[in-house]
Structure 1
Amino acid sequence: MSTTAPPSADVLPPIPADLGILVRRRIEAEIIKPIYDILERELGEERAGAIIDEAVTAAAVRAAGEMAAREPAGGTLQGFIAIQPLWTRDGALEVEVRKQDARRFDFDVTRCRYAEMYRALGLGKIGHLLSCNRDAAFIAGFAPEVKFSRTQTIMQGAPHCDFRYGTDTPPATP
């Protein structure tokens, strides 16, 4: 069995640094929609959703590891907090921070353009798989010691999403 080495950096065009995640998710959704439609037709809604969930979760873990490696405080809660503007860029999320300190980052999302976009694209029933389900996988790949919880999402009909991140590990001191 042969394995293929990943392409070198000079082969892959760089993703523009100013490309917000909302725009990335739209591009992904435009590609995923016809794939999902075929999977659903051939395998049924439950199996199609499970396949999309598995693929998106794996992509989130991989992306998290890459981001953690690039972020100066990567692999920590503080590093995770530092990259939050990537998700809110372009007015993608309206956020109310509830608590932010060395060991906690709790916030509520009161408007989610990701959810609005998925619904507009006809992907409302799997929007949670394309976006919301990434959150736990992403933090596990970015900072494994950070615990994550969320009890509700706008995508699934709640008035807000309640993100709660925490760690028992004290931040490193210089």
Structure 2
Amino acid sequence: MTSVLDGYLVDPNLSLLDKTRIQAQVLVPVLRALRAELGKDKADAIVKGALRDWSKQLFAAIGDGIDGNPRRKWAAIQSVWGEVSGREVEFEILRHDEEALDIDVTRCRFAEFFRALGEPELGALLICEADFDIAAVGEGEVSLDRAQTIMQGKPSCTFRYKFAPR
């Protein structure tokens, strides 16, 4: 079965962490060159805008290719995203029912990688923010609140999904 994320992953045999490392090999030097030329604030704003737009459009397009209602589209993407990103994190499911899904991630290899590079903000843009773009595919039937992330230096990532009544 072809995964809904195959186009995003490029090579389904490549882990999401390896894909992210390849992206960083290109993005980090470009980001640092832009900072040297334009200053940190302006360069970071340009990169943030470009990566956020890309991610929002990407996951919206993936959602458009899935049959069903918005919650089903979110669930299809979330399931596969959880499989590919879940290999790189340790987590605990605190609640999972018709109203909510609460997860705490207690270890994140993505955060370890980007913090070691000294670029946790870039890691947040490439990895952490995608969770909100996936939730947006739920078109109000799914919402996500996250008060903290390991990428920000906190001890855990707090995922708090809420589901609209069916």
Report TM bin, short chain: 0.7 to 0.9
- What are the Cα deviations for residues 66-85 of structure 1, in whole angstroms up to 9, with x where unaligned? 43245566732433442211
Which of structures 1 and 2 has the bigger CA Rg?
1
User: Any gaps of 5 or more consecutive residues in structure 1?
Assistant: 1-11
User: Any gaps of 5 or more consecutive residues in structure 2?
Assistant: 1-6
TM-score normalised over the length of structure 1: 0.77
Partner of 1:4: none
1:125–1:143 CA distance, 2 compared to 1 (3 A) = closer
1:124–1:75 CA distance, 2 compared to 1 (3 A) = same
- What are the Cα deviations for residues 143-173 of structure 1, in whole angstroms up to 9, with x where unaligned? 2221111111111111001011112142xxx
From 147, 150, 157, the equivalent of 1:151 is: 147
TM-score normalised over the length of structure 2: 0.80
- What are the Cα deviations for residues 97-152 of structure 1, in whole angstroms up to 9, with x where unaligned? 11112332210110010011112333235432332233223321x22221111111
Partner of 2:84: 86
What secondary structure does 2:45 align onto? helix
- What are the Cα deviations for residues 39-97 of structure 1, in whole angstroms up to 9, with x where unaligned? 111121111211121122122212212432455667324334422112113xx111111
Aligned residues: 155
1:12-51 matches, cutoff 5 A? 15-51=10-46
Whichever residue aligns with residue 23 of structure 1, its letter is: D
Calculate percent identity across the aligned residue pairs: 32
- Please identify, of 17-26 and 107-116, the stretch whose mean Cα deviation from structure 2 is larger: 17-26
* Contact 1:148 1:165 (8 Å CA) reproduced: yes
* Contact 2:78 2:134 (8 Å CA) reproduced: no
